[in-house]
Amino acid sequence: VLQNLSQTPVLRELLKEAKMSGTTVKIESPELSEPQLIKLDQPGPLTSAMYQFLTEMQGTKKGVITPKELFAQVCKKAIRFKGYQQQDSHELLRYLLDGMRAEE
């Protein structure tokens, strides 16, 4: 899931913009009649951890990257992930994106 998200340029750019408080983002889509301007607040801890992880994935030459901080933030939002038991990847994706959306 995280590897797929790291290869989503729009998400990476939006998180890059979101890390700065007071930034205004312009969203254009064929479904929208006109572009939407959205003013972003300071990102929450989950969003910040996601940005940090994606930046590390894109910029590192290391062989292994561990999402410790991101996982810790997900566990705070979704207690079911604590304990390192096996979980479905789609559940992680849902909790991750819902958690980031709740921080908006």
pLDDT in tens, 21-70: 677 777 777 777 888 887 777 788 998 999 999 888 887 676 788 889 99
pTM of the model: 0.74
Give the structural domain span for 27.
1-102
* Structure tokens given for 63: 């062989």
Contact 38, 27 (CB under 8 A): yes
CB within 8 Å of 70: residues ≥ 6 apart? 2, 46, 49, 50, 52, 53
d(CA 76, CA 56): 22
pLDDT, tens digit, 9 for 90 and up, residues 73-88: 988 887 777 776 677 8
Strands (E) located in the chain: 24-27, 36-39
**Of residues 58, 26, 53, 23, the one with CA closest to residue 40:** 23
Number of domains in the chain: 1
Contact 16, 40 (CB under 8 A): no
